[in-house]
Amino acid sequence: MVGSTENISQKPGNDPTSKPGFFRRLAVIFYDLLLLIAVLFVATAVLLPLNAGEAFTSQQFFFPIYLLLVSFFFYAWFWTHGGQTLGLRAWKIRVLTFDMKPISWKQALLRFLAAIISWGFFGLGFLWILIDKNQRSWYDHLSKTTLFLNTPETHHYQAPGHIPPKQ
């Protein structure tokens, strides 16, 4: 029918208005990086007494692995329990699956590892959002997760163990 204004429904997560922009994502990364640095300082302070208070050397391979694990659990905990780190919350963004469901620990691990690889290639995996039709990074594609702006559609998501308030 010519001139028809038929409603065409899109798959969840493909609506361009539900996607955070490039600079908003950069701001989230900056916020979370500041918080992660603080967490890593505390994690190092906890471990220093076990190293006689001395600085860690390059021969102590467990220390970078320890910091990597701390970093993973920092991000994964927030992603799997509410879908928001502090940076994501400040910028009203949520990490969910393509179907707007909470992400699993496996997806969090894939997202974390893919993000490291992505940034290892000079941020090319992050810059990918500029040319991807759905504004998804490499780590979004590999983990089958993506970022959504907090909208009424994403507010139905509840963190595991969340008990809604009584009315």
Is 131 buried (19+), middle (13-18) or exposed (0-12) by CB count in 10 A?
exposed
| pLDDT for the residue numbered 161 | 54
* 91/158: higher pLDDT: 91
- What letter represents residue 85's amino acid? T
Whole-number average pLDDT of the chain: 86
- List, for residues 42-93, the tens digit of each pLDDT value: 999 999 998 888 888 888 889 999 999 999 999 999 999 999 999 999 999 9
- List, for residues 106-123, the tens digit of each pLDDT value: 999 999 999 999 999 999
